[in-house]
Chains A and B, each alone.
Chain A
Amino acid sequence: MKPLRIDFVERPPWCLPTSPRARATLIALATVLLLLGVALAWTALQLGRELEEASRAIAWTRQELFARTPPPPPPLVLSERQLLAINSAIGQLNTPWPAMLDGFESVATADIALLQIEPDNRRRLVKGVAEARDHQRMLDYLAALGSAAPFARAVVTKQEINEQDPNRPLRFAFEALLAEPAAPAATPAVIPARARDGQ
Chain B
Amino acid sequence: MPVLAGQVLVAEERLPASASAALAAALPGLTGRQPETPGPAARNRSLIVTVDDGLARSFVVTPPRGTRGLRELRATAAARFATLYGASADDWLLVGDWHARVPFIVSGLPRVLYQALQQLALTNGWRLDSVSPAFVRVWNGLGASIPANGWLLVGFGSTLTLLATGDDRIAGLRSLRLPAAPDLAALETLLEQEILRAPAQLERGRQALLWAGAAEWLPVATSLAGMASRTIACRALASNAGEASTAGQLALAGRSR
Contact = CB atoms under 8 A, between A and B. Distances in A.
A, B in one complex: yes
A8 B93 CA distance: 7
A8 B140 contact: no
Contact of B144 (A1, A6, A9, A10): A1
Contacts of A10: 95
B165 A1 contact: yes
B140 A9 contact: no
B105 A8 contact: no
B131 A8 contact: yes
B147 to A, nearest CB: 9
Given A6-B95, A8-B93, A8-B114, A1 B139 contact: yes
A168 B56 CA distance: 161
Contacts of A3: 139-140, 143
Given A1-B143, A1-B148, A1-B168, A6 B93 contact: no
A6 B143 contact: no
Contacts of B132: 6-8
A110 interface: no
B219 interface: no
A8 B47 CA distance: 13
A5 B129 contact: no
Interface string A1-25: 1011111111000000000000000
A4 B144 contact: no
Interface in A1-54: 1, 3-10
A8 B129 contact: no
Contact of A7 (B130, B148, B165, B168): B130
B105 A4 contact: yes
Contacts of A6: 95-97, 105, 107, 132-133, 136
B109 interface: yes
Contacts of A5: 97
Interface string A46-79: 0000000000000000000000000000000000
Contacts of B93: 8
A1 B107 CA distance: 18
A144 B95 CA distance: 134
Which of A1, A7, A8 has the most CB atoms of chain B within a 10 A radius of its CB?
A: A8
B247 interface: no
Contacts of B95: 6-8, 10
B59 to A, nearest CB: 12
Nearest to A5: B97
B146 interface: yes
B76 to A, nearest CB: 16
B148 A8 contact: no
Interface in A75-129: none
B109 A4 contact: no
A1 B138 CA distance: 12
Contacts of A8: 51, 93, 95, 107, 109, 114, 131-132
A148 B137 CA distance: 135
A4 B97 contact: yes
Given A4-B139, A8-B93, 18 more contacts: A1-B139, A1-B144, A3-B139, A3-B143, A6-B95, A6-B96, A6-B105, A6-B132, A6-B133, A7-B95, A7-B130, A8-B95, A8-B107, A8-B109, A8-B114, A8-B131, A8-B132, A9-B129
26 contacts: A1-B143, A1-B144, A1-B148, A1-B165, A1-B168, A3-B139, A4-B97, A4-B105, A4-B136, A4-B139, A5-B97, A6-B96, A6-B105, A6-B107, A6-B132, A6-B136, A7-B95, A7-B132, A8-B51, A8-B93, A8-B95, A8-B109, A8-B131, A8-B132, A9-B129, A9-B130
Interface of A: 1, 3-10
Would you list the 4 A-B pairs with minimal beta carbon distance, nearest first? A8-B131, A1-B146, A3-B140, A6-B136
